Amino acid sequence: MLKTATTIFLGLATSFTFLLVSPPPPKSFYHSLYISTSLSDNTSIANHLHTLTRRPHAAGSEANAEAAAYVLSIFTSSNIKSHIASYEVSLTYPSSRSLTLIPPPPETPTTFNLRQEIYDGDPYADVADEVQPTFHAYAKSGTVSGLVVYVNYGRIVDYLTLKEMGVNVSGTIVLARYGEIYRGNIVKNAYEEGAIGALLYTDRKDYGGGGGDTRWFPDEKWMPPSGVQVGTVYNGIGDPTTPGWASTGDCERLSEEEVEKGGDVPLIPSLPISGADGETILRSVGGDVAHEDWQGSIDAPTYRVGPGPGIINLSYTGNQIIGTIQNVIGIIEGAEEPDRFVILGNHRDAWTFGAVDPNSGTAALLEVAERLGKLQKKGWKPRRTIVLCNWDAEEYGLVGSTEWVEENREMLASRAVAYLNVDCGVAGPVFHASATPQLDELLKRATQQVQDPENSSQTIYDSWVDSSNSPPIGRLGDGGSDFAAFVQHVGIPAAAMFFGGGYPVYHSMYDDFVWMEKFGDPMFHRHVAVGSVWGLVALWLADEEFLPFNYLSYAKELQKSTKDLKDEISETDISLNPLFKSIEELHKAATTMNNQRKEMIERKGWTSMWNKDHLKVRELNDRLMMAERAFTDQDGLFGRSWYKHLIYGPSKHDDYGSKTFPGIDDAIEKAKNLNTADSWRAVQHEVWRVSRAVKHASLVLNGELT
């Protein structure tokens, strides 16, 4: 009897011990499960996109509030604790618009209807009147009349060409085609050249398939003749009335006059117009024939530069309000490091239906949320906190994300591991990614794990690599999407990813579910793929004990950029030695960091399981996380103090253009124009500033006081 009891006791004890020591599945099990076909669902993604794009949903609209409620419901049903973070921000809408062309006699004046036409069988015809009249957000109200000058893409180089041709745009209304630079810079450049108004059109050469026998949407992917690309012409980031602080409640605000003095809102009226209307106006323009590369599609009229003799009467009145916007925030709290945040973001607001921009990304975000919810049901818990963010009012100037970052700046600066952005998730084939360099290897690794949606026999990485066997990863210096506040204002490592790139019906009323289903992603496999890469990178950042950052990539990138800079200023007395020296120190620090991490990983195992030093792991990860912050400077870029990052920032003349060493670039441009000793001294000062920032990053990686 005693023997039997003892046997039972030992059996129970053994079973209990087994339960105690039997480990849960490793994190890698859940990561593999995340990208498996058992968890992904292209039909669900298609349904999400169809729901999100039922109506036009510009920021501040009732339809966009309904879309926010839908996102919130999906987060909540996926067992993700969620809430709405609202802000009261400055928004503008069109109140009245008119545009009349007065051609030379005997032609009669033309008053344009400024309307995008519905197409035969358009399933959204019943809500087409909910699309905002075509306009530019934050455009200057006013009525102007003047001769027309054709300025190509409205770049600085285009105005230099006009000056060489003897064309003066002062006092005229410029006609520019959209495509090469950000529309806000087109209007600003026109103002600085003395123009009194600006018209921006979408040329058939760029968006209409090149003319000739080309058909357009809904038969083909191209922009219809009446299609208009709307958008903001604000050159800043965030609510223009609260620069640098959050638009919460009854906060301090700048007056309209103070906003105008800030230089980021236009000071002349502007309107976006269709390609058809643009060509009509061009037929009234005389003067010299424009250069060959300024000409339009194969059957377009001959483009001349003017001025006139056609005269344009342009009138625009905007209605500026303080409206409510809603960010949807979902949080999966980390089990071991809840105070470390891995943040995923996408915006929800659209100028019209937004099937590509941005709701292909929103549908992918909801897919990520649902997959993470399924992982939780299977026992997965992230090591670090994952934050899912669905931003509002991005289209007005990255407003929702910027206000949230400004409100949470100190918390993010001390706790954010990385930010991962998807905006237009899918516009067609071919994967693209941009990142701060320490995330390069992580992106490559993720794309090596995810099947290529175009070819099931290979991975995304296989199709992504270029002829040098290295994928082309861009840099996040531009102001094109919601990563800007994270990278350029706070200094948080970040990445952005998408399929496709530019697409013809961008920001028009034809960016609808039909276009996506026919041309963007008929089977919604690209949506599944972008959700897989996005979520997998997030899981690795949230779950891996050692943060998978590699600053050797950063050092190599800076070395290359500095060599390019050396070539640019080779005929000057500027010394880049301080910068080269600091980059070498960064390379050494990154190498030491990698070796330390490797040694700590190798020491792990059963022998050290019970006494491993969690604080040492934490301290090493903190160095990896905080090194990016060291590339920022509290004074920011000269004349653009909101931008704190000295390595990556937007081009001064193109907010969509990314610049390495933007402060140095600005100073060089100024010095070339002035060519004074002081101006070149300012270039050297900027070189020293950047070199100090790079050295600070090395000190953070080393983790030791000097």
Residues designated catalytic = 394
Q: How far apart are CA 490 and CA 631, in angstroms?
A: 10
Q: How far apart are CA 147 and CA 120, in angstroms?
A: 37
How far is the first Cα of the chain from the last one, in angstroms, to the nearest whole number?
72
Q: List all residues 6 or more positions away from 572 whose beta carbon is below 8 Å from its beta carbon.
A: 680, 683
In degrees, to the nearest 5, what angle opens at C-alpha 434 toward C-alphas 433 and 439?
Answer: 100
Is residue 363 within 8 Å of 433, Cβ to Cβ? no
SS3 629: helix
According to DSSP, residue 325 is labeled E
Residue 673 burial by CB count (10 A; 0-12/13-18/19+): exposed, middle or buried? exposed
Name the residue among 241, 267, 691, 642 with its Cα closest to residue 479. Answer: 642
SS3 295: coil
The two tokens of residue 621 are: 């990860």
According to DSSP, residue 132 is labeled P
Phi, psi dihedrals of residue 686, rounded to the nearest 5°: -65, -35
Q: Which amino acid is at 538?
A: A
Q: How far apart are CA 427 and CA 84, in angstroms?
A: 28
Q: How far apart are CA 497 and CA 534, in angstroms?
A: 8
The two tokens of residue 219 are: 């038969």
Is residue 200 within 8 Å of 176, Cβ to Cβ? yes
- Going through 15-141 in order, the beta strands assigned E by DSSP cover 81-102, 110-111, 136-137
Q: How far apart are CA 111 and CA 359, in angstroms?
A: 35
Instruction: Please name every residue paired with 99 in a beta bridge, in sequence order, or none if there are none.
Output: 314
- C-alpha pair distances (Å), 74 with each of 328, 330, 440, 444, 453: 11, 10, 31, 30, 25
The two tokens of residue 375 are: 């992982």
Is residue 694 within 8 Å of 648, Cβ to Cβ? no
Name the residue among 423, 428, 425 with its Cα closest to residue 518. Answer: 428
Is residue 330 within 8 Å of 81, Cβ to Cβ? yes
Name the residue among 505, 526, 425 with its Cα closest to residue 220. Answer: 505
Q: Alpha helices of 82-177 — where are they, by DSSP H?
A: 156-164
Is residue 402 within 8 Å of 408, Cβ to Cβ? no
